[in-house]
Amino acid sequence: MIALLRHLLTAAIDPIDSMDALRVRAREAAATFPVPFDRAVVTALACDRVGFAFAAGYQAALHTLVPALPFDLAVSLCATEEGGAHPRAIATRLEETEAGLVLRGKKRWSTFAPAADALLVVTSIGVDDGGKNRLRVVRVDSKADGVRIEPMPPPPFAPEIPHAEVTLDGVRVREEDVLEGDGYDGYLKPFRTIEDLHVFGALVAHVGGMARALSWPRAFVEEVAAAIVGLRAMALSDAMSPELHIALGGAFTQIRALLDRATPLFGAAPAEIRERWERDRALLGIAGNARGKRLEAAWATLARERD
């Protein structure tokens, strides 16, 4: 932790201004910071915009979710389909054929897919006796036969974050590329919290880097450091714990207030930096309703356990 804070507070900042530069810097960070959260913070500290910081956090989240992934592998989690990302909406199928396992389906809004080396595809293997969709996660090479990745139009904020429609047309799958565990309980459900922790850690680090580069008040940098300490502790905890979600609710309230205070400080920044922040800060509100529902569910779980 101390090494991470020292880097956050004192390291020279050589700005990252492209996705290629981001990947190089993340690989370099891995030599000193093996924990994915730490790599996200170290990399995002130097990012010159929100989109690149988000990418650092997103990749760190996936490597936390699947620790066996090589640290330098860029990955996309492909879950959402035409009907959404709820387990019952997953129509992509992993089928057993005479030639082996085959993957068929189509995904939408797959974050980072156009720049990914590998895809983590949430797929159905059929339904159980109660009619519940049984899910697995399959690792697929993004350049494998039968994989087609079609970039989607960039969003109005953080346009550097690529999204795509992914078509899987008879993609051959090795048994060892089917990840162990239930696709929903073991991957999709915890990822929502893991992603929040790592992405917000990266975004806070990005703003901390801007605070240092633009000579903002020391008190602001101190709050950044405190937020990173709290998020890191939670990132190393059980993502499914209701207690964690309650603490996370409080942390997000503090972080939103911190980032709100950054906006007038960005007002004195060079025009390019100020305009990017004004454009991209809408990203901070994405999935707020889902976070609120998880927080309410956590309180309900504790209430049931207490009773």
How do residues 142-183 score in pLDDT, each as one tens digit? Answer: 999 999 999 999 989 999 999 999 999 999 999 999 999 999
Question: Chain-wide mean pLDDT for the chain?
Answer: 94
Q: Which range, of 6-10, 125-129, 148-152, averages the lowest pLDDT? A: 125-129
pLDDT above 70: percentage of residues in the chain: 100
Higher pLDDT, 148 or 284: 148
Predicted pLDDT of residue 17: 92
pLDDT above 90: percentage of residues in the chain: 83
Q: Is the pLDDT of residue 31 over 80?
A: yes
**Reported confidence tier of residue 307, pLDDT bands at 50, 70, 90:** low
Parse the chain into domains and list their residue ranges. 2-66+186-306, 75-178
Rounded mean pLDDT, 130-135: 90
Higher pLDDT, 241 or 98: 241
Distance (Å) of CA 145 to CA 80, 116, 125, 173, 214: 21, 15, 21, 11, 48
73-84: per-residue pLDDT in tens?
A: 999 999 999 988
85-114: per-residue pLDDT in tens?
A: 889 999 999 999 888 999 999 999 999 999
Predicted pLDDT of residue 159: 94
Q: Which range, of 119-123, 127-131, 287-291, averages the lowest pLDDT? A: 287-291
Q: Is the pLDDT of residue 249 over 90?
A: yes
- CA angle at residue 11 from 16 to 263, to 5 degrees? 60
Q: Is the pLDDT of residue 283 over 70?
A: yes
Q: Is the pLDDT of residue 288 over 80?
A: no
Predicted pLDDT of residue 254: 94
Q: Which fold has domain 75-178?
A: Butyryl-CoA Dehydrogenase, subunit A; domain 2 (2.40.110)
Residues 174, 176, 181, 184, CA torsion sign: negative
Rounded mean pLDDT, 255-264: 93
Q: Is the pLDDT of residue 306 over 80?
A: no
Predicted pLDDT of residue 85: 85
212-236: per-residue pLDDT in tens?
A: 999 999 999 999 999 999 999 999 9
Rounded mean pLDDT, 180-193: 95
